[in-house]
Amino acid sequence: MSTTKERVLAFVAHKGLKMKEFEELAGLSNGYVTSMRKGFGEGKLNNVLNAFPDLNRDWLVYGEGSMLKSESAAHRVESYQEALRKYGDSLVPEYDIEFRGGPQGLMVESGSLLGYWVIPNVPAGSFIVSMTGRSMLPAIPSGSRLILSPYSFDRNYPTSIPFGNLFVVVTYDEEQDAYNAHIKILRRHKGGDKDATHWIARSINTEEFDDFDIPVHKVTHLYKVVSCISSLWGHWS
């Protein structure tokens, strides 16, 4: 049976990352994986899973199941009524909404319901949308589907959110009278005037995309990225 270290190496290779990039995204010190003798402690494990929401925890820790959540958990619904009776709360709707990565934060929406997926153990109110763009490469390829869960936050306490996680942030631009959606890792300003008024939005593809600020007062909706479903699954209805 493979070790946790060997499974980490396999996942890093699957993502096309350099080890240094993986460790930085997961909040691990440089050389952490190379020096691993056993598995992750709970804190480090949570860091890794938060940085890579498509990674299957059971596979990483125990070597059980598939490497990616989407490979072992998600499958299509052929008959909605039959699936509703059989699966109930495991049905997750997919909408014809496309988020485009990058600082422009474009959101293309038709409002149409495309269908349902059977995905166990996702938070209530979760739904699926698609994403295009290069800003979240290589962890999230363009064309992937994201499982999003609504996340409540208090604008009076903007530093109370779990920074370092991947979010979809919807903002309203009064000048353009338009809503924008940003798929980013949210980070906190450390000190200074912006700590209580802005979040730092960071891409995974930092070679092509710079950090930028998101004014908290413009945020209308916040969604946590629960998982990523591979772009290899075909559209269905």
Tens of pLDDT along the chain (237 residues)?
Answer: 678 888 898 888 888 788 888 898 888 998 999 888 888 888 888 888 888 877 888 889 888 777 877 554 455 554 556 666 666 667 888 888 777 655 555 555 555 777 778 787 788 888 888 888 888 887 788 888 889 999 999 888 889 999 988 899 999 888 878 788 888 999 999 877 898 899 999 998 888 999 999 999 999 999 999 888 764 333 322
Sheet-wide strand order for 127-132? 75-76, 107-118, 91-100, 127-132, 145-150, 219-229, 166-173, 178-188, 198-202, 212-215
Tokens (6 digits) for 129: 């949308």
Question: What amino acid is encoded at 136 in this protein?
Answer: M
What angle (nearest 5°) sits at the alpha carbon of residue 48, between those of residues 11 and 120? 85
Q: What's the length of the chain?
A: 237
pLDDT at 233: 35
User: What's the gap between Cα 115 and its chain centre?
Assistant: 21
pLDDT at 100: 65
Question: What amino acid is encoded at 138 in this protein?
Answer: P
pLDDT at 236: 29
